[in-house]
């Protein structure tokens, strides 16, 4: 039996639209066991068939990619990452599927090669990169291939999230974005994203607060999140950098202390503080 744990991811990290992502310690856990046919345990009924299960689709893709006969398994699932909340739930399914397939193929592919496969399946790197590598990752594209770069995070930084009940689908979040942007807004974001790695390395919250000021997607997506303006206003005077996680509806807060949390909880908001994720974890039960 094989066990794989994949962590939640917060894409964009405010100004890093489709480029930056960070892994957070909220986990989906998967098990894989060889069987005579495929079966699915722990999934909602709507995701319990080959046609509807993204873990299976990703698993099968790697066998097809390797031109090898697929090995049937029972896929088990136990999840803490909420769906359609901007925390990379679909990316966790893709990563689990491809790493499981690679295991049954005798670890044919390196982590770097699996990252390439994951970006093909996901279409972009900002969630799958931190899900695979952990920490803060920035990716760029060259000749239809993505290249990930990992950046250190100061040990004193704390990451908190508010996860609303309301979902925001990726399709909806993409749909509200304008087709054309002025140069001044692009330059605004470029001047901030270039300084993000240094702010995370130094744990510089005042700098992060200045840098967490997006003009490419948050002004449009914030309108899809009911309490965005309320929460932002409540903590505007605190030492907290605030952003939408991915495409929403989750909101991400970066700080060095948690003094701001009681005022949010007093207003009825549920705040969850998470560790920085360390990347995908693969364990062979047979070796225990």
Q: Are residues 139 and 215 in the same domain?
A: no
Kindly tell me if the per-residue pLDDT of 285 is higher than 80. no
Across the beta sheet with 251-255, what order do the strands follow? 240-244, 251-255, 158-162, 271-274
Q: What pLDDT does residue 173 have?
A: 87
Task: Write down the pLDDT at residue 48.
Answer: 85
CATH number of the domain to which 236 belongs: 3.30.70.890
pLDDT beyond 90 at 36: yes
Name the token pair of 109: 């592919």
**Together in a domain, 58 and 107:** yes
Question: What domain count does the chain have?
Answer: 2
94/186 same-domain check: no
Same domain, 141 and 246: no
- pLDDT 10s digits, 252-266: 999 999 999 999 999
The pLDDT score that the predictor gives to residue 149 is 97
pLDDT at residue number 196: 97
* Residues 142 and 175 both lie in one domain: no
Do 139 and 239 reside in the same domain of the chain? no
Claim to verify: residue 162 and residue 145 sit in the same structural domain: no
First to last CA, the chain: 10
Peptide bond into 197 cis (omega under 30): no
- State which residues form the domain around 104: 2-152+276-287
What's the mean pLDDT when you consider all of the chain? 95
Residue 6 pairs with which residues in a beta bridge?
A: 28
Query: Residue 243's closest CA among 80, 20, 8, 7?
Result: 20
- The per-residue pLDDT for 21 is 98
101 and 137 part of one domain: yes
Mode of pairing for the β-strands spanning 2-11 and 73-79: unpaired
Concatenated DSSP letters of the chain: -EEEEEEEEEESTTT-TTTEEEEEEEEEEEEEEE-SS-EEESS-GGG-STTT-HHHHHHHHHHHHHT-PPPPEEEEEEE-SPTTSSS-HHHHHHHHHHHHHHHHTTS-S-HHHHHHHHHHHHSSSTTHHHHHH-SEEEEEEETTEEEEEEE---TT-EEEEE--SS---HHHHHHTS-S---HHHHHHHHHHHTTHHHHHHHT-HHHHHHH---SSSHHHHGGGSTTHHHHHHHTTTSSEEEEE-TTSS-EEEEES--TTHHHHHHTT--EEEEPBP---EEEEGGG-
pLDDT in tens, 10-21: 999 999 999 999
Summarised one tens digit per residue, pLDDT across range 193-240 is: 999 999 999 999 999 999 999 999 999 999 999 999 999 999 999 999
170 and 79 part of one domain: no
The CATH number of residue 90's host domain is 3.30.230.10
Q: What is the pLDDT of residue 82?
A: 94
Q: Are residues 268 and 280 in the same domain?
A: no
Residues 68 and 163 in one domain: no
Same domain, 129 and 181: no
Q: What is the pLDDT of residues 153-186, one digit of tens each?
A: 999 999 999 999 998 887 888 899 999 999 999 9
State how far the Cα of 255 lies from the Cα of 257, in Å rounded to an integer: 6
Can you give the pLDDT at residue 287? 54
């Amino acid at each position: 039996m094989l066990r794989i744990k994949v962590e939640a991811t917060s894409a964009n990290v405010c100004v890093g639209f489709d480029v930056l992502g960070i892994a957070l310690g909220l986990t989906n856990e998967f098990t894989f066991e060889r069987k005579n046919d495929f079966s699915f345990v722990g999934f909602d009924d709507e995701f319990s068939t080959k046609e509807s299960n993204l873990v299976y689709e990703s698993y099968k893709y790697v066998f097809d990619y390797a031109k090898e006969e697929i090995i049937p398994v029972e896929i088990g699932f136990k999840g803490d990452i909420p769906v359609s909340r901007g925390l990379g739930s679909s990316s966790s399914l893709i990563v689990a599927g491809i790493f499981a397939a690679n295991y049954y193929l005798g670890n044919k592919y390196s982590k770097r090669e699996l990252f390439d496969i994951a970006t093909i399946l996901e279409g972009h790197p900002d969630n799958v990169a931190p899900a695979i590598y952990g920490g803060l990752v920035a990716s760029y594209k060259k000749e239809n291939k993505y290249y990930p770069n990992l950046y250190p995070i100061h040990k004193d930084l704390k990451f908190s999230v508010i996860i609303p009940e309301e979902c925001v689908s990726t399709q909806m979040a993409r749909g509200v974005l304008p087709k054309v942007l002025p140069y001044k807004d692009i330059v605004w974001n470029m001047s901030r994203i270039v300084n993000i790695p240094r702010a995370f390395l130094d744990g510089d919250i005042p700098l992060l607060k200045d840098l967490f000021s997006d003009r490419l997607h948050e002004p449009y997506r914030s309108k899809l999140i009911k309490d965005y303006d309320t929460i932002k206003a409540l903590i505007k005077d605190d030492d907290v950098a605030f952003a939408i996680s991915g495409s929403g509806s989750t909101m991400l807060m970066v700080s060095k202390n948690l003094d701001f949390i009681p005022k949010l909880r007093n207003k009825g908001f549920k705040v969850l503080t998470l560790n920085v994720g360390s990347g995908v974890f693969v364990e062979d039960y047979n070796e225990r």
